[in-house]
Structures are given as structure tokens and as C-alpha cells.
Amino acid sequence: MPTLQRDGLTLSYLDEGQGPPVLLLHGFPMGAESFRPQLAALSGSFRFIVPNHRGFGGSEVGPGPLEMSTIAADALAILDALALGPVIVGGLSMGGYAAMALVRLDPARVRGLVLIDTQVTADDAAAKARREEVARQAESGGVAPIADAMVPRLLAPGAPEAVRQALREHILRVATPAGIAAASRGMALRGPSKEILSRYSGPALVVVGEEDGITPPEKAKQMAELIAGAQLVSIPGAGHLPNWEKPERFNEVMRSFVLREL
Ligand code: MLT
């Protein structure tokens, strides 16, 4: 896996496929490999750049909270290292917060925006307190209790056992206690992104799993309404991870968006 040195840390990423470049930013507490269903099906059409955020999937963790702007800046540094100009930027959940931070940092780099099961609002006090609890639980009990608590929340209630198992194994493979703690505290620090989306004038696709209980369809509608001309797609039978739960439908939606906008 290719790596980049930044702030004294080794950061890893996937660079697979051929065609127009698509940057994908993964959710919490997952890694770049959570986009494997997209890489497997679409790497004949697109070049995917998929960073592992600090503390996940082999990327080293830094000190303190992992701010969404740091995830965005790491991704921009990877694009710089690869000499890539404007790219399609997609982000799922925490990756969506980072995608919006990237739009703020360097809008000229964004050729199209794909927001997947994410939200534009900041955490309220109760959500911030839950983040701190998750961080402490990971620091004291490791990854397994976090994976056990999160898998049922991440997937649609009717998700098959094999999908649950595969997700649990993925989290256990890629997440670290320090990474979970840093990302959880970093998400609590993010501000609202409404202004970023209102100012954004490029093409946008907003995707949501119809049964997402973490960032439900109303959140997707709110984002789509902020961006002029955004396309909103709801995926039946999926929860918070439509790319993982309903990959064929998700891939079709993403493929047609990218091809239309290039
Ligand atoms: C994610 O999937 O990245 C997280 O659930 C996002 C969040 O907790 O806000």
C-alpha cells in the first residue's frame, strides 16, 4: 500500500484503477478497505484514491483529537503527492464531514461532491458527551466493545448475518483504540457546514440509506436543499452504509453521477 509522510506520521492510502480520479473518504470506525465494493466494481472506469485516516487501516495516529480539517488536509497532501488536479470528492459519514472541510480548504480541487450518509449540523451537548464516552471506552476496553455496539447501529435492521460479521471483522482489522478516541473527539469539535454547502456551486450527489438511523434521510434532504442543483438518492434496504449493504445500487448511482459530471 502506498504511504505518505506528514507531520512525522506514516499515512497509508489506496490508489487503484484507471480513469478520472475519485477521492473517497471513509467513515468511522472503518478504513479505506470499506470502499472495496466500489473499487472492485468500478476501478475499470475510475482511479480511486482512498486514504486511511489517522489511526485507521495502518495510518499512524497523531496526538490529540483528529479534526475533520486534518483528514481533509491529509487527503489534499496525498493528491499533491500524486500531482492530481481537481477530483470528484466523496465522503461517507465522518468522511462526509471531512469532505465538507476539504471544500472549505480548497474548493478549486473539487470537481464534484458526493455526500453519503452524513450531516451538515454540528453535535449538540448530548452527542459530544457520547463521543467522549466512546473515546474513553476505546481507551480502556479496546476496539471489540466499540465494534459490537456500532455494527447494529451502522446497518439496516434486516441486514444479513454475513454482512454483520464482515463489518465487525473489518472494524477489528482496521481500527485502533487510539484512532477511535482521536476521531471521536475530533468529530465532537466540528462546526456546522451549512455555509460551505450554500456557497458550493459545483455538481453534487447526496446519497442516503433509507433505513439510516445515525444520519437519517431528513439529514440528507437538508444537505441536498442547501446545494443548488444537488441530486438526492435514497437507497432502499440500506442503513448507514449503502456502499457496503447495497453495493450494486450504490455503484450504479455513483457511476452515473461521475460519468455525467465529467
Ligand atoms: C460514521 O459513520 O462516520 C460515524 O457514525 C459518524 C458519526 O458518528 O457522526
List, for residues 107-145, the tens digit of each pLDDT value.
Answer: 999 999 999 999 999 999 999 999 999 999 999 999 999
Q: What is the CA(215)–ligand 1 centre distance, in A?
A: 8
Cβ-contact 221, 125 below 8 angstroms: no
- Which residue in 150, 127, 112, 147 sits closest to 22, CA to CA? 112
Q: Is pLDDT above 90 for 262?
A: no
Residue 27, pLDDT > 90, answer: yes
Dmax over CA atoms of the chain, in Å, equals 48
pLDDT, one tens digit per residue, over 169-179 is 999 999 999 99
Tell me what pLDDT residue 179 has: 98
Instruction: Indicate if the pLDDT at residue 15 is higher than 90.
Output: yes
Mutate to test the pocket of ligand 1, among 24, 28, 118, 243 (most ligand atoms within 8 A of CB): 28
Ligand 1 mean position to 130 CA, how many Å?
Answer: 12
| Nearest atom (ligand 1) to Cα of 187 | 9
> In this predicted structure, what is the pLDDT of residue 157?
97
| 26 Cα to the center of ligand 1, angstroms | 10
**What pLDDT was estimated at residue 100?**
98
The torsion angles phi and psi of 63, rounded to 5 degrees, stand at -80, 145
pLDDT value of residue 30: 98
What amino acid is encoded at 55 in this protein? G
Rounded percentage of the chain residues whose pLDDT exceeds 70: 100
Angle 36-57-14 from CA coordinates, rounded to 5°: 50
How far is ligand 1, taken at its centre, from the CA of residue 256, in Å?
Answer: 26
Name the residue of 93, 184, 208 whose CB sits within 8 Å of the most ligand 1 atoms, as the mutation to test its pocket: 93
CA of 47 to the centre of ligand 1 (A): 25
DSSP letters, 80-133, are HHTT--SEEEEEETHHHHHHHHHHHH-GGGEEEEEEES--SSPP-HHHHHHHHH
Residue whose Cα lies nearest atom 4 of ligand 1: it is 28
- pLDDT-above-90 percentage for the chain: 99
C-beta of residue 239 within 8 angstroms of C-beta of residue 154:
yes
Q: Whose CA is nearest to atom 5 of ligand 1?
A: 28
Q: What are the backbone angles phi and psi of residue 245, rounded to the nearest 5°? A: -85, -35
Average pLDDT, the chain: 97
pLDDT, tens digit, for every residue of 139-194?
999 999 999 999 999 999 999 999 999 999 999 999 999 999 999 999 999 999 99
Closest CA to 69 of 97, 30, 37: 97
Q: Is the pLDDT of residue 261 over 90?
A: no
Tell which atom from ligand 1 comes closest to the C-alpha of 94. Answer: 3
* Residues within 6 Å of ligand 1 by CB: 27-28, 93-94, 187, 214, 240
What region, left, alpha or beta, does residue 93 occupy, with left being phi > 0 and alpha being psi -120 to 50 degrees? left
* pTM across the whole model: 0.98
Residue 189 cell numbers, joined: 469539535
Residue 215 pLDDT grade (very low, low, confident, very high; cuts 50, 70, 90): very high
How many Å lie between the centroid of ligand 1 and the Cα of residue 94?
A: 5
